[in-house]
Amino acid sequence: MFREGTDFSVLDRSRGEWGEAADDITALAMNYIFYSVQKSLRLTGDLKDLFELFFENYIEKTGDDELLEVIAPFFAFRAVVVASPTWYPLLSDDVRRSIFNFLENVMAAKKFNYRDVNSYLA
């Protein structure tokens, strides 16, 4: 990423072409949360429907229920990225706080409940 003059950052693609399922799932799923939280500080409407449908389809097609027990640190990583002022400097404090609430509450849960994301955001 290039900024003014010679100021730049290098992005790393070290994880290769095949990723950990939990990382791949959170890479996409966090977007539903992030965009909805920016509008209403909650996961609502079509984005909520798409988020839940995404998880339902993944679990139905893979049988990977264990994902919900191991996904927390991957969501935590994604939450830190989207809450970062480096990447998203214009987020309101309320949005940033909701994302950090999500991070803390997901990490505290034994198993991720994809149907109750709003409890993690509170």
* 15-25 per-position pLDDT tens digit: 556 668 899 89
Rg (CA), the chain: 15
Q: Give me the domain span that covers residue 56.
A: 21-121
**9 in a structural domain:** no
**5 in a structural domain:** no
**107 in a structural domain:** yes
Question: For position 44, what pLDDT does the model report?
Answer: 98
**117 in a structural domain:** yes
Question: For position 58, what pLDDT does the model report?
Answer: 96
For the stretch 67-86, pLDDT in tens is 999 999 999 999 999 999 99
Q: In the predicted model, what is the mean pLDDT of residues 76-98?
A: 95
**7 in a structural domain:** no
Question: For position 18, what pLDDT does the model report?
Answer: 63
**2 in a structural domain:** no
Contact 85, 91 (CB under 8 A): yes
Number of domains observed in the structure of the chain = 1
**12 in a structural domain:** no
Question: For position 12, what pLDDT does the model report?
Answer: 60
